[in-house]
């Protein structure tokens, strides 16, 4: 069974590219969101298996969005992503009840599957 994914990033071009990559990797892209508020609404509506969540969103911090997603009934697996490879992000991701962090430049099918195991 294919995992459904919600993509959360404020750059539409990146969401499109990531959606193509995920579809080719065997995932079902259930939806997209450009900010934290939309991410929370879409996650509640779509109930995806996985949320790929950018750290820096225009309306709120991605780690705060992750904490809110974790509080929902049957929360999705959340993977934090960022174009910045900040050394504090993996620790902050763990503290936010996510599966982990991967820099966008290192995002691959293998890295995603490793985090989701």
pLDDT(1) > 80: no
Please, are residues 34 and 78 in contact by the beta-carbon 8 Å criterion? Answer: no
Burial class from Cβ neighbours inside 10 Å (0-12, 13-18, 19+) for residue 73 reads: exposed
pLDDT(22) > 80: yes
Domain ranges of the chain: 4-109
Q: For 33-76, write each residue's pLDDT tens digit.
A: 999 999 999 999 999 999 999 999 999 999 999 999 999 999 99
Q: Distance between CA 62 and CA 53 in Å, rounded?
A: 6
**What is the CATH code of the structural domain delimited by 4-109?**
3.40.50.2300
Half-sphere exposure at residue 36, Cβ-oriented, CA atoms within 13 angstroms: 16
pLDDT(101) > 80: yes
pLDDT reported for residue 9 = 98
- Strand, helix or coil for residue 30: strand
């Amino acid at each position: 069974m294919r995992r459904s994914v919600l993509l959360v990033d404020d750059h539409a071009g990146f969401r499109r590219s990531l959606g193509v990559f995920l579809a080719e990797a065997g995932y079902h892209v259930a939806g997209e969101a450009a900010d934290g508020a939309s991410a929370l609404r879409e996650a509640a509506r779509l109930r995806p298996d996985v949320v790929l969540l950018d750290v820096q969103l225009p309306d709120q911090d991605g780690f705060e969005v992750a904490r809110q997603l974790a509080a929902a009934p049957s929360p999705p697996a959340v993977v934090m992503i960022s174009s910045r490879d900040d050394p504090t992000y993996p620790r902050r991701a763990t503290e936010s009840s996510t599966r982990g962090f991967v820099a966008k430049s290192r995002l691959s099918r293998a890295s995603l599957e490793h985090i989701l195991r």
